[in-house]
A and B are shown apart, each in its own frame.
Chain A
Amino acid sequence: MGIVDDRLQVDIAGGLQLNNPIMTASGTFGYGNEFSNFVDLDRLGAIIVKGISLKPRPGNPPPRIVETSCGMLNAIGLENVGLDNFISEKMPFLRKIKAPVIVNILGDSLEEYQTLSEKLNDTSGISAIEVNISCPNVKRGGVAFGTDPAMVFQVTESVKSRTSRPVIVKLSPNVTDITATAQAAEDGGADAISLINTLLGMAVDHRARRPRLANIVGGLSGPAIKPVALRMVWQAANVVRIPVIGIGGIMTVEDVLEFMIAGASAVQIGTANLIEPDTTEKVLDGLLDYVEQNGGRPIREIIGTLQTG
């Protein structure tokens, strides 16, 4: 089904128009090929691949995951194939997909973010870059960038200066004031912001008196975090003029509508992909039904229509 339905189209970043607002969240959709038998990848609004670092990363020791009430904790440790392998092994498959491909990048230093941005700028078939400044799993990782507005500004500005592609900055929820980091990303030149990344959490085995994750702490995702995500999307959308992409526990089309009403121009589906690998396409079908049932009005008309009066 390659027919474009303009009633589902949304604009997200630097002139990038998506055929629909349904994207995949980085780290829950592999490099796309893992899902080719479950989803018609061509139909998706965009595919965001697993976070890429300059060098391959082996990830954290196990156990890496824990199931929690309505969610999960992960401390995968940003395991990925590294930039060169990504370009040589993963991009040939991704280039054949009609959906825009967005590459999520992560680094230990400003220089790493800059090098990644430059090299990806020279790679064909990439529609935008998403900057992970918030993953809480790696000790030397992005947590310092994501929680300090000055550093958010700096990373955003350096990535922007090295690429002509639209730049999405993915915000950490592990802050007191999300509007400060949202504003910093916009000031740094971000074309869009996406939020939220996982919330820092932990789980304890009371019998062994040990943490359930080898990394002790990890990132919480899934339906458990949806109310926090909705609140932050709404707060951020109230202060920035750039598009906001909502992430956090989306499982159904109703969840998508809630995020869009709160101010999101598009959404990313994450943890749900792990449980029902065809979630994105099911939600997309549901969104089309919603449009049909509401007089065929374009879906973009509901963005930011929350009535608070």
Chain B
Amino acid sequence: MMPFKCNAEVRGNEKITGDIWRLTLEVPALARVASPGQFVMAKGSKGSGPPLWRRPLSIHQVLDDARIQLLIKVVGPGTEFIAGRRPGETISLVGPLGRGFVLPEQSGNVCIVGGGVGTAPLFYLTSRLLGGSVKPESVKVFLGGATATDIMVLAKDFKALGAPVEIATDDGSAGYHGLVTELLNRLEPGKSWRVYSCGPHPMMKTVALYCLDRQWPCQVSLETLMACGISACLGCAVPGRGPTGLAGGGGYLHVCKEGPVFEAGEVAWEL
């Protein structure tokens, strides 16, 4: 699906926690074609800015054939503008962009590992998995946050999908007191797991290396600075592995084009 530019009408805007918002947008052309793990570039200003760049946001959920949801953490003026749009206003999007998650063809054990607002694309993924060949009892969702308030609303939403959820918080205010990656040790070691992860880069690195060690299939959704999202600027490079990757004598992967979702083994985590 070639990306296109469109205007989306804001239908809802819900505050999740202090600085995280969830926008519901009516944009049928995107809702009909976006797959889990894909993203949009959303304009973060009125008119010609500032700020200049659009902001990359992964698709959090597709509600039906007309509406999508975005999860936005306010980190600067661009995300503040987007998170501040009220119902009835419109927002300019370019999408659907990038290569999304590859869904399993057969049933099996699936583990979802999300950190903070990085959980965004995993929600659409999980709802698609559970709507397909994957049974709720063979799914584990591990969500991490700094504090309970960071992650409780999202955890509730995952539970509403029917998925068993376990939480880790940095301050111990809910669930396991520690890093979400430490929950991986709770997976039954005899079984093979298909792991999907998105969150802070160090978290994904730990997940990726854990899975590579055990030869479990693992896909991660990377985040980088991005100016265009359409592979024109080549600013979103990450070191790759294999014959085409930097570690194999080749070059960089581009998060907007070859990603944002990569197989854990495609990324040169040590570089």
Question: CB within 8 Å of B: which residues of A?
Answer: 27-30, 34-38, 56, 58-67, 69-72, 74, 76, 79, 222-223, 251-252, 271, 273-278
Give chain A residues whose Cβ lies under 8 Å from the Cβ of B173. Answer: none
**Contact string against A for B residues 245-269, beta-carbon threshold 8 Å, 1 for contact and 0 otherwise:** 0100011100000000000000000
Residues of B within 8 A of A56 (CB): 251
Chain A contact residues: helix, strand, loop or mixed: loop
Flag whether B228 is at the interface (Cβ < 8 A).
yes
Contact B239 A61 (CB under 8 A): yes
Residue among B225, B226, B227, B238 facing the most chain A CB atoms (10 A cut-off)? B227
Chain B residue nearest to A62 (CB atoms) is: B237
Decide if A275 touches B52 in the complex (CB within 8 Å).
yes
Interface contact A34-B232, CB-CB below 8 Å: yes
8 Å CB contact of A69 from B50, B226, B251, B271: B50
The stretch that binds A, out of B2-10, B67-75, B82-90, B131-139, is B2-10
Give complex CA distance A172, B236 in Å.
25
Which 8 residue pairs of A and B lie closest in terms of their CB atoms, listed nearest first?
A65-B235, A58-B251, A274-B228, A37-B2, A30-B232, A274-B227, A64-B235, A62-B237
Chain B residues with CB under 8 Å of chain A are 2-5, 43, 48-54, 94, 224-228, 230-239, 246, 250-252, 271
In the assembly, what is the distance between CA of A295 and CA of B21, in Å?
A: 51
How far is it, in angstroms, between the C-alpha of A273 and the C-alpha of B4 when the chains are bound? 14
Contact A76:B5 (CB < 8 A) given known A58-B250, A70-B52: no
**Which residues of chain B are near A30, meaning CB under 8 Å?**
230-232
A76: chain B residues at CB < 8 Å are: 233-235, 237
Contact of A66 with B234 at beta-carbon distance under 8 Å, contacts A38-B4, A79-B252, A277-B94 already known: no
| Chain B residues with CB under 8 A of A67 | 51-53, 225, 227
Once A70-B49, A79-B251, A275-B52 are accepted as A-B contacts, the answer to whether A65 and B233 lie under 8 Å apart by CB is yes
Q: Are A59 and B52 in contact (CB under 8 A)?
A: no
Residues of B within 8 A of A36 (CB): 2
| Pair B232/A275 contact, Cβ less than 8 Å | no
- Name the residue of chain A whose CB is nearest to the CB of B4: A37
Given that A72-B227, A274-B232, A277-B228 are known contacts, is A37 also in contact with B251, CB under 8 Å in the complex?
A: no
Taking the closest CB of chain B, its distance from the CB of A277, in whole angstroms, is 6
Q: Give the chain B neighbours of A69 by CB distance below 8 A.
A: 50
> What are the residues of chain A within 8 A of B228 when measuring CB–CB?
273-275, 277
> Are A79 and B237 neighbours in the complex by a CB distance under 8 Å?
yes
Contact A72 B53 (CB under 8 A): yes
Q: Within the complex, what minimum Cβ distance (angstroms) separates B4 from chain A?
A: 6
Chain B residues with Cβ below 8 Å from A34 are 230-232
B50 x A79 contact (CB < 8 A):
no
Report yes or no: B52 in contact with A72, Cβ–Cβ below 8 A. Answer: yes
- Distance in Å: Cβ of B89 to nearest Cβ of chain A: 19
Which chain A residues lie closer than 8 Å to B230 at the CB level?
A: 30, 34-35, 38, 274, 277
Closest to A60 in B: B237
Q: How far is the CA of A64 from the CA of B2 in the complex (A)?
A: 25
Q: How far is the CB of B6 from chain A (nearest CB, A)?
A: 11
Smallest beta-carbon distance A163→chain B, Å: 27
Report whether A74 and B235 are in contact in the complex, using a CB–CB cutoff of 8 Å.
yes
Q: Evaluate contact between B224 and A62: CB separation under 8 angstroms.
A: yes
Q: Bound complex: CA of A252 vs CA of B53, how far in Å?
A: 16
**A37-B3, A273-B232, A277-B5 are contacts. A58–B53 as well, Cβ < 8 Å?**
no
Residue in B4, B53, B238 whose CB lies within 8 Å of A274:
B53
Q: How far is the CB of A224 from chain B (nearest CB, A)?
A: 9
Q: How far is the CA of A59 from the CA of B232 in the complex (A)?
A: 14
If A38-B4, A58-B250 touch, whether A63 touches B231 (CB-CB below 8 Å) is no
In the bound complex, CA of A38 to CA of B6 (Å): 11
Q: How far is it, in angstroms, between the C-alpha of A74 and the C-alpha of B226 when the chains are bound?
A: 11
Smallest CB separation, B50 vs chain A (Å): 6
Instruction: Give the docked Cα–Cα distance between A278 and B48 (Å).
Output: 14
Q: Judging by beta carbons under 8 Å apart, are A74 and B233 in contact?
A: yes
**B235 nearest in chain A by CB position:** A65
Kindly identify which residue among A38, A59, A70 contacts B234, using a CB–CB cutoff of 8 Å. Answer: A59
What is the CA–CA distance of A76 and B236 in the complex, to the nearest angstrom?
Answer: 9
Least CB distance from A223 to B in Å reads 8
Decide if A278 touches B5 in the complex (CB within 8 Å).
yes
Question: What is the CB-to-nearest-CB distance from B204 to chain A, in angstroms, rounded to a whole number?
Answer: 15
